[in-house]
Amino acid sequence: MTGIIFDMDGVLYRGNTLIEGALEIVEFLKERGIPFIFLTNNSTKTAEMYREKLLRLGIDVKEEQIITSGYATARYLRKHFKKGRVFVIGGRGLIEEIRNIGWEIIWPEEAGEKWRDIDYVVVGLDTGLTYEKLKYATLAIRNGAEFIGTNPDTTYPSEEGIVPGAGSIIAALKVATEREPLIIGKPYEPVWEIIREKLNEKEIWVVGDRLDTDIAFAKRIKAKAIMVLTGVNGIQDVEKSEIKPDLILPSIKELLDYLRIS
């Protein structure tokens, strides 16, 4: 059976506005028993928080059907690294995920005295980013702390337009530390390892709006790459890119029509 991985921002909704067809396709998949998950590179919310947001928009899915880059990062750390002290640049969702695996968090207000004790610097989207956070992250990484990024998205779509993402913060730390981070989210392999624990179908489709994350991720895992034009990238971007989707649709609404005839 085919399993489908949906990106969220720019595919199901933009900001707090549901994209036409999103509700209908979820209900169609549930009725047909087609397995699917929502996978977002945004680490600012937990799966529970995303479920609440989706419910407000009219979409009802189980919490375990939602994977965030924050969730994947925390699970990957617990699986592959020794337990340690973590300095987090990120939102509430990422902080909660690190707490959920029982690792100690060193907070920005105590980092002035404890930055030498930091074992891991974990970086996601942080709308409360300060110079102090960047400073202590830089000092810790230069002191030998592991440098972990939740996702590489330099931007993401909002109701106002395209705004800076986690990748922009990671880029600043790469320049400041001269270190390359381990990136967990799309398009990289670590998140696929976490997904396979939940979605183990032989054929996988990936539906997304970004060439450099969603579509590149689909190509990396040998999935069918379906791009919708309601998010970051458009047709002109596809024409310029070496990363080519297998199918391009105006929106998720047209994907429902495609599924009905497939």
Write down the pLDDT at residue 110. Answer: 97
Does the pLDDT at position 160 exceed 80?
yes
Using alpha carbons, select from 201, 190, 244, 242 the residue that is nearest to residue 5: 201
Q: Which pLDDT band holds residue 244 (cuts at 50, 70, 90)?
A: very high
What class, spelled out in words, does domain 81-183 have in CATH? alpha beta
Write down the pLDDT at residue 54. Answer: 97
pTM over 0.85: yes
Using alpha carbons, select from 129, 179, 123 the residue that is nearest to residue 150: 123
Using CB atoms within 10 Å of the CB of residue 84, give its burial: 0 to 12 exposed, 13 to 18 middle, 19+ buried.
middle
Percent of the chain's residues with pLDDT above 90: 88
Assess whether the region 2-69+187-261 and the region 81-183 belong to the same CATH fold: yes
Helices then strands (H, E): number in the chain? 11, 15
The position carrying tokens 């980013």 is: 129
Q: pLDDT averaged over the chain?
A: 95
53-106 pLDDT tens trace: 999 999 999 999 999 999 999 999 999 999 999 999 999 999 999 999 999 999
Rounded to the nearest 5°, which phi and psi values hold at 88?
-110, 125
Sorted by where each begins, the domain ranges of the chain are: 2-69+187-261, 81-183
Does the pLDDT at position 1 exceed 80?
no
Task: Answer whether CATH 3.40.50.1000 is correct for domain 2-69+187-261.
Answer: yes
77-91 pLDDT tens trace: 999 999 999 999 999
Q: Which pLDDT band holds residue 237 (cuts at 50, 70, 90)?
A: very high
Q: Which two tokens stand for residue 207?
A: 């539906």
